[in-house]
Amino acid sequence: MVKSRICTLVLTLAALLAAKPSLAGEGEQRVLYGRALKERELGWACYARHYDAAHLRTHPDQNVRDIAMLAYRPDWQGADASILNFEARFRDGGEPAQFSGECRSVDGGILFCGIECDGGEFSMKTAAGGAILVDLPAEPGLCDSADGTGFGPDDKRFRLDRVDIGDCRELIWDDEIRPRLLKAAGR
């Protein structure tokens, strides 16, 4: 009787754990880098999108003209998540919005991420051709600004293409990792 209850409890716990999103790790790496990284490997990926004047004319509620994202996974001991640095430039030419985040769980190939300074949440998943889809359900909050960032009502989903690290060079905000990251990218 006791063995039967213990067995039932173990099976129930296993089912509950399987239903929850898993911690980021290999799934996160496959979405961001297209493969699982080796232990203590410095991973990186740069994604960007430029919207031309014709696109912006047909999407009057979209304010983002350019958006870029640098993803990198540090190679030091204990690094358990990738760091994501974003920059969005707007059609009015005003100050760009810069924000950073980390992804902590993956469920069904979708990464669930948070923006630092309690700036909100976003999710990501892979798209055709090595691209990535970034879903921002709400305007991201910025650490250094109480004002809005400039995102419009049509700035909710971005399809970003994988590009050369040169397009994300200005998004390497960590001076310690910059030379190693550029070297890993062949620069």
Nearest Cα neighbor of 125 from 15, 47, 178 is 47
Q: Contact 174/182 with Cβ under 8 angstroms?
A: no
Which architecture does CATH list for 21-184?
Beta Barrel (2.40)
Strands (E), 108-186: 110-115, 120-126, 132-135, 157-163
Distance between CA 97 and CA 147 in Å, rounded? 11
pLDDT of residue 187: 78
How far apart CA 31 and CA 103 sit, in angstroms, is 11
Q: What pTM value is reported for the model?
A: 0.83
pLDDT at 147: 65
Residue 70 neighbours by CB distance under 10 Å: 25
- Per residue of the chain (187 residues), give pLDDT as tens: 434 333 333 333 333 334 344 455 788 888 999 898 888 888 899 999 999 999 999 999 999 999 999 999 888 887 778 899 999 999 988 889 999 999 877 888 899 999 998 889 999 999 999 999 999 998 888 887 666 678 999 999 999 999 999 999 999 999 998 998 888 888 7
Whole-number pLDDT of residue 55: 96
Interatomic CA distance for residues 59 and 155, integer angstroms: 10
Structure tokens at 56: 């912006």
Gap between the Cα atoms of 26 and 33, Å rounded: 10
φ, ψ of residue 2 in degrees (nearest 5): -65, -45
